[in-house]
C-alpha cells in the first residue's frame, strides 16, 4: 500500500495520517469549503475539496470520495469514525471500486449494524444476552404481551439504533403503547428503520466495552476493557481503563466473549464489543461498534 485517502477530518484524520507517515504511506485529505485551512488539510501530502460546508454535501458524499480516490490512484480509504465509517453501502462501493476499505468488510458492518442480526450471528458462541426477543415488533399488543412475559421494567429499543436514540424504558403495562410509538417514531426519523425489539431492562448496570483487533488470517485479539458507565441520556461522558469492578476471571470471560463476537461476523481491523454488567456480575452482549473510536487513547 503506497497511498491512502482519509475520508474524515480533525483528530482522527491526524491520527491515521501520522501512522501512515511512519509507515512510509502517502496521504490524501478531503475537505469541505469550511475546512480549507484545517490542520488535516495542511498535514496531508495531497488535499482535495469535495464540497460545501454541510457534511451531507461533502464528507458524506461517498461517491465523490471514491471518485477522488480513483483519480489519485489511492490504494486504500480509511473512514475514521463518524461520517461514513459504519455505512455498509459505502464500504461495499469502495470494495467494488477495487480500493481497500481500511476496516471491516461491508458484510460485517451490515450484520453488526442491526442489533437483531448481531444477536442471531453470535448465538452459536453461546454469548450471554439480555433476556428478550430475537425479532422485530411493531404491534403494540404483541409488545405488551412480550413485556409481561419478560417482566417489567423493559427496554424498547430500535434495531438500527445507536447513541441513545430510539430507546425507551417502560415501567408498567399502561405505558407500553405510548413508549412504543415514541421509540418507533424516533427510530424512523433517526435511522430510516422503525423496527424495534423488547428486552429486559437491567437496572443500575455497568457499561463495559472490550477493544478487539482482527487480522485477515483469522487471528483476533482483545486489548481488555474500558468502562463507560458514567453516561448522560445513554451517551458516554467518561471512559476509564481498567475497570475497577472486574475480577480477573470476569475480565478473561468477557475478553473471550468479545473475541467470539468478532469471529461471528468475520471481523477485520479495530472494533469495540459492548457489554452490560449487572449487580450480580453477570454480563450481557449489547452490540459491536464496527469502527475506530474516539476513546481508543484510553486503552
Average pLDDT over residues 160-170: 76
pLDDT for 188? 81
Residue 177 has pLDDT above 70, yes or no: yes
- What confidence category does residue 163 fall into, taking pLDDT thresholds of 50, 70 and 90? low
- Which residues are CB-contacts of 142 (< 8 A; sequence separation ≥ 6)? none
pLDDT for 90? 98
CB atoms within 10 A of CB 215: 11
- What confidence category does residue 116 fall into, taking pLDDT thresholds of 50, 70 and 90? confident
Residue 141 has pLDDT above 90, yes or no: no
Provide the grid cell at 119.
Answer: 444477536
Partners of 26 in the beta sheet?
A: 3
- Return the exposure string of 67-87: e unless at least 16 CB atoms fall within 10 Å of the residue's CB, then b: ebbeeeebbbbbbbbbbbbbb
Classify the C-alpha dihedral 189-191-192-195 as positive or negative: negative
Report pLDDT digits (tens) over 47-74. 999 999 999 999 999 999 999 999 999 9
9 counts as catalytic:
no
User: 255: closest CA among 228, 226, 279, 231?
Assistant: 226
CA distance 128 to 284: 5
CA distance 270 to 283: 22
User: Strands, E, within the chain: which ranges?
Assistant: 3-6, 26-32, 46-51, 76-78, 100-101, 154-158, 167-170, 196-200, 206-214, 220-227, 231-232, 235-236, 269-277, 283-289
Residue 162 has pLDDT above 70, yes or no: no
Residues, the chain, total? 299
Bigger pLDDT: 137 vs 266: 266
CA distance 293 to 270: 9
* Domains and their CATH numbers in the chain: 3-102 (3.40.50.20), 110-126+204-298 (3.30.470.20), 140-200 (3.30.1490.20)
Provide the grid cell at 239.
Answer: 471512559
The rounded mean pLDDT for the chain is 92
pLDDT for 246? 97
CA distance 258 to 23: 29
Provide the grid cell at 44.
Answer: 496531508
Average pLDDT over residues 224-249: 93
The answer to whether the beta carbons of residues 113 and 160 sit under 8 Å apart is yes
Amino acid at each position: 500500500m503506497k497511498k491512502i485517502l482519509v475520508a474524515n477530518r480533525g483528530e482522527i484524520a491526524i491520527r491515521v495520517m501520522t501512522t501512515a507517515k511512519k509507515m512510509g504511506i502517502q496521504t490524501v485529505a478531503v475537505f469541505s469549503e469550511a475546512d480549507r485551512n484545517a490542520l488535516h488539510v495542511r498535514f496531508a501530502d495531497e488535499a482535495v475539496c469535495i464540497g460545501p460546508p454541510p457534511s451531507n454535501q461533502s464528507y458524506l458524499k461517498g461517491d465523490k470520495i471514491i471518485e477522488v480516490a480513483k483519480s489519485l490512484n489511492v490504494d486504500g480509504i480509511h473512514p475514521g469514525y463518524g461520517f461514513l465509517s459504519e455505512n455498509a453501502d459505502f464500504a461495499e462501493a469502495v470494495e467494488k471500486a477495487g480500493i481497500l476499505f481500511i476496516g471491516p468488510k461491508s458484510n460485517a458492518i451490515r450484520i453488526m449494524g442491526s442489533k437483531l442480526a448481531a444477536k442471531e450471528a453470535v448465538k452459536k458462541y453461546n454469548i450471554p444476552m439480555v433476556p428478550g426477543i430475537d425479532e422485530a415488533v411493531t404491534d403494540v399488543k404483541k409488545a405488551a404481551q412480550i413485556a409481561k412475559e419478560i417482566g417489567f421494567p423493559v427496554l424498547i429499543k430500535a434495531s438500527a439504533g445507536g447513541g441513545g436514540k430510539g430507546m425507551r424504558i417502560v415501567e408498567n403495562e399502561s405505558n407500553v403503547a405510548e413508549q412504543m410509538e415514541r421509540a418507533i417514531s424516533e427510530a424512523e426519523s433517526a435511522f430510516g428503520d422503525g423496527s424495534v425489539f423488547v428486552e429486559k431492562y437491567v437496572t443500575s448496570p455497568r457499561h463495559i466495552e472490550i477493544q478487539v483487533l482482527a487480522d485477515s488470517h483469522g487471528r483476533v485479539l482483545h486489548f481488555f476493557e474500558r468502562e463507560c458507565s458514567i453516561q448522560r441520556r445513554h451517551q458516554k461522558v467518561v471512559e476509564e481503563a481498567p475497570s475497577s469492578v472486574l475480577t480477573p476471571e470476569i475480565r478473561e470471560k468477557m475478553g473471550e466473549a468479545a473475541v467470539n463476537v468478532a469471529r461471528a461476523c468475520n471481523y477485520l481491523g479495530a472494533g469495540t464489543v459492548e457489554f452490560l454488567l449487572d449487580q450480580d456480575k453477570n454480563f450481557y452482549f449489547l452490540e459491536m461498534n464496527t469502527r475506530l473510536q474516539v476513546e481508543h487513547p484510553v486503552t
